[in-house]
Amino acid sequence: MKLLSVNVSLAKEIPYRGRTVTTGIFKEPVNSRVMLRALNLDGDQQADLKGHGGIYKAVYVYSIENYDYWKRELGRTDFAPAAQFGENFTVEGMLDDDVHVGDVFRVGGALVEVTQPRVPCFKLGIKMGAPQFVRTFLNSCWVGFYLRVLEEGEVGAGDLFERTKMDPERLTIRKMCHLLYFDPGNVDGAQQALRIAALSPGWRGSFEARLSKAGVAMEYSEEPKEGKCCGP
């Protein structure tokens, strides 16, 4: 498991359907090592803090193997070598069906924890030049994932990821995505998700709402996480 590229950008304004939107999705690779802090990478900026950023979404990770999948699916050959999907970390060998919510990794001088899958907003459609791609992306559940920073440190292209903890629930990114968005009646799965201490508040709230609606008692992790809740 390898960090191929570290990608950052400042927020900028772009025209979109007769209005101006602010986005940080147009990221570019950096050639030097970068300090990874609790909220983001040095030099990176999230535009919409209601839906992006915060301690549970400090860094977005996407696998280079997924690039090949989308090239085939979309019939495109114009992808950038990194940051095509707006990710901070372009990685190798960290597939959505191998990485679990709650896994902990050492990369460079930092220690990070997987908190949730990505849920794309309309700005991914802008980045891809295809507004309809947002739904296609979510339907695939090849969505990548977010990290929380447990220990700050410098990171750079070429660093290896060492998995120091595998979450005991073994809910992969793809399974978690499918569970929330495409398996709404799965109460057992919702209870399993709530047992993951690292799960972000937004996703936790969604599963809690499912169980509450079903009149089912909730099962919590032994170490519930606190933080400002934002929707997935």
Q: pLDDT by residue (tens digit) across 146-185?
A: 999 999 999 999 999 999 999 999 999 999 999 999 999 9
- Considering Cα of 106, then 144, then 75, then 20, what sign does the dihedral take? negative
Q: pLDDT category, 51, cuts 50, 70, 90?
A: low
Query: For residue 215, what pLDDT is reported?
Result: 80
Residue 230 pLDDT exceeds 70: no
pLDDT band at 226 (very low <50, low <70, confident <90, very high): very low
pTM of the model: 0.91
Whether residue 228 has pLDDT greater than 60: no
Give me the residue spans of the domains in the chain.
Answer: 2-168
pLDDT of residue 216: 77
pLDDT digits (tens, 9 = 90+) for 87-130: 999 999 999 999 999 999 999 999 999 999 999 999 999 999 99
Kindly indicate whether the domain formed by 2-168 is annotated with CATH number 2.40.160.40.
no
- What is the tens place of the pLDDT at every residue in 177-198? 999 999 999 999 999 999 999 9
Mean pLDDT of 214-227: 57
**Would you tell me the crossing angle of helices 64-74 and 133-140 to the nearest 10 degrees?**
120
φ, ψ for residue 189, nearest 5 deg? -65, -40
pLDDT score recorded for residue 57: 96
- For the CA atoms of 2, 169, 220, 216, the dihedral, rounded to the nearest 10 degrees, stands at 130
- Picking from 181, 193, 152, 133, the residue whose alpha carbon sits closest to that of residue 41 is 152
